[in-house]
Structure 1
């Protein structure tokens, strides 16, 4: 997500033909673009069923650079000699447009639908996160990885009473935590006030009560872990952050400061090539890696806070850091 203080950028779409094999290999994965501040949303579709023609659409916030288009073309080698169609989009909800028709996602006990008309899956916790202006619908591997990790934690008997979801996007991971630990108090934050509004709407659609008490979800617009609403409810025994590697590293001191001794942090949004740097940043704050689960190029990390490190005594990686990471939100 972009910094909420910045004006909305013009949205652009880049279209390239591709083969069915290339489309299936992409499958919505944006690993190649993860280092970008605002990665594009990639969608593949069958352009002509009779002729077996497929296409790749990439939705960008802002006009894509030549380097971004060149990187996009590496995903579809069959289009090497084709000039991509690059077009500015009208002032519409382009994330919603790009997410129409997404298939439901099942991760652990959770089944996430993006369209209300899709049937629920019996025997699962069914959540509805309709395509909207914020990310975190469950389609991305990092979000699905977090859902699977939370489910596994509950299955092995872990219990939590005070939960924070940092960079919540659509509220999905906070909803999942409250479904698993129904008497917990939970708070979800995002730098983007639109994401917070959407999370509130999604909470109501999924029967999640809003408020401060047990089994309820509080929502706040916040750029990092030092916001009074987050600090005032600390220490947390479970903190979830599904954002990008850079903000995860920058926020390590402030996030770890919010977690109690023995508490758990679940991190995602990073590539496997970035995992060592993220783990090192959290180890410097007294965390230890308890579990790692990879879905393709995207790992989900579960860390525990060593009892010897008090929750109010973080060590900053950058002495000038303020505990904020402008411009991030849930993947």
Structure 2
């Protein structure tokens, strides 16, 4: 008997919406952030000669529940009486297909393209992160917020020599850091081995050298920050973590222990209403909030380690805490 599990069937739910509703759906939606596999939402014009007639397509891994469809309808009130079109999709890489129409993202001096045929932007750092299996194409507000924060840090003269990107996803934020501080030693990690593989491919596509040494990026499959490869390179003067609020809080002792006296941590992946809890967790570990920048409902936090804390090996919040993050790379 063949015991190999069949791949999960992908489904699409389509609803009509207005242009205003479509524009309000830019980025990921807070209502779905707690789902293990949140849907990918795409909007497009439904009728070329009617600028207010738009459509919402939601792509799910597995057949969407009645509750998920009801939640989806709350995002587009004009479709409250509309019957959703629910259909199973053929076995294709639907995440890539759904993202092929994404526009390039410009944040600070960075211009991130998702399609190789899109033109580069003059006088910008152009990066190519093609849509695919890992998070972090630049489309999400948290990733764009981190890019803008890193650019702003460079513009005010901040310098870094040892950089870590925890939960790297596609490698984008690590690439950005190396473009800003090209002599830095950098390492990027993700719990997902596929994400690490994709990051390596993206590094080669963007001319980022892999390996050890200044100006090179090391890649490692690691859960959180409590891993020999990450600890062995510590302490870091810049650590980036674009994951989710829960893992950020769980990892606070581990990540702060990896940062040198006076070092900087950039955090993202949290919602406005989660910011106070995240800040409190890092303040307990000797960090102070130096800057906060909001993009919609997604804040990006820059924290600095107080000189009185100094370097120490990672410690955990409690006996049950494993110093690990779930399978989330850069959003």
Q: Same fold (TM over 0.5)?
A: yes
Aligned equivalents of 1:219, 1:8: Cα separation in 2: 28
- Any idea what the Cα deviations from partners look like across 1:276-300, whole Å, max 9, x if unmatched? 0111111111111110000000000
Specify whether residues 80 and 67 from structure 1 end up closer, same or farther in structure 2 by C-alpha distance, changes over 3 A only: same
SS of the counterpart of 2:233?
coil
SS of the counterpart of 2:126?
strand
The answer as to 2:155 corresponding to 1:159 is: no
Aligned equivalents of 1:37, 1:263: Cα separation in 2: 33
Aligned equivalents of 1:49, 1:259: Cα separation in 2: 53
Specify whether residues 68 and 311 from structure 1 end up closer, same or farther in structure 2 by C-alpha distance, changes over 3 A only: farther
1:95-244 counterparts in 2 under 5 A?
A: 95-244=95-244
Specify whether residues 177 and 61 from structure 1 end up closer, same or farther in structure 2 by C-alpha distance, changes over 3 A only: same
Moved more, 315-324 or 105-114: 315-324
- Any idea what the Cα deviations from partners look like across 1:203-238, whole Å, max 9, x if unmatched? 111100000110010111111111111111111110
Aligned equivalents of 1:63, 1:71: Cα separation in 2: 15
The residue that corresponds to 1:319 in the other structure is: 319
The answer as to 2:65 corresponding to 1:74 is: no
Aligned equivalents of 1:122, 1:74: Cα separation in 2: 41
Moved more, 45-54 or 153-162: 45-54
SS of the counterpart of 1:14?
strand
SS of the counterpart of 2:22?
helix
Aligned equivalents of 1:89, 1:191: Cα separation in 2: 28
- Cα deviation for residue 271 of structure 1 reads 0.4
- Cα deviation for residue 180 of structure 1 reads 0.2
Do 1:284 and 1:315's aligned partners in 2 also have CA atoms closer than 8 Å?
no
TM-score of the superposition, structure 2-length normalised? 0.94
Moved more, 280-289 or 12-21: 12-21
SS of the counterpart of 2:143?
helix
Do 2:9 and 2:91's aligned partners in 1 also have CA atoms closer than 8 Å?
yes
- Cα deviation for residue 314 of structure 1 reads 5.3
Do 1:188 and 1:219's aligned partners in 2 also have CA atoms closer than 8 Å?
yes
The residue that corresponds to 1:303 in the other structure is: 303
Specify whether residues 221 and 89 from structure 1 end up closer, same or farther in structure 2 by C-alpha distance, changes over 3 A only: farther
- Any idea what the Cα deviations from partners look like across 1:126-182, whole Å, max 9, x if unmatched? 111111111110111100000000000000110000101011111100000000000
The residue that corresponds to 2:39 in the other structure is: 40
The residue that corresponds to 1:30 in the other structure is: 29
- Cα deviation for residue 328 of structure 1 reads 2.1
Do 1:290 and 1:302's aligned partners in 2 also have CA atoms closer than 8 Å?
yes
Aligned equivalents of 1:199, 1:245: Cα separation in 2: 23
Do 1:95 and 1:134's aligned partners in 2 also have CA atoms closer than 8 Å?
no
- Any idea what the Cα deviations from partners look like across 1:267-322, whole Å, max 9, x if unmatched? 00100011001111111111111100000000000001111113325563333211
The answer as to 2:254 corresponding to 1:254 is: yes
1:275-314 counterparts in 2 under 5 A?
A: 275-312=275-312
Aligned equivalents of 1:8, 1:324: Cα separation in 2: 27
- Cα deviation for residue 329 of structure 1 reads 1.9
SS of the counterpart of 2:142?
helix
Aligned equivalents of 2:172, 2:301: Cα separation in 1: 18
The residue that corresponds to 1:3 in the other structure is: none
TM-score of the superposition, structure 1-length normalised? 0.94
1:51-62 counterparts in 2 under 5 A?
A: 51-52=50-51, 53-62=53-62
Specify whether residues 163 and 46 from structure 1 end up closer, same or farther in structure 2 by C-alpha distance, changes over 3 A only: same
Specify whether residues 191 and 233 from structure 1 end up closer, same or farther in structure 2 by C-alpha distance, changes over 3 A only: same
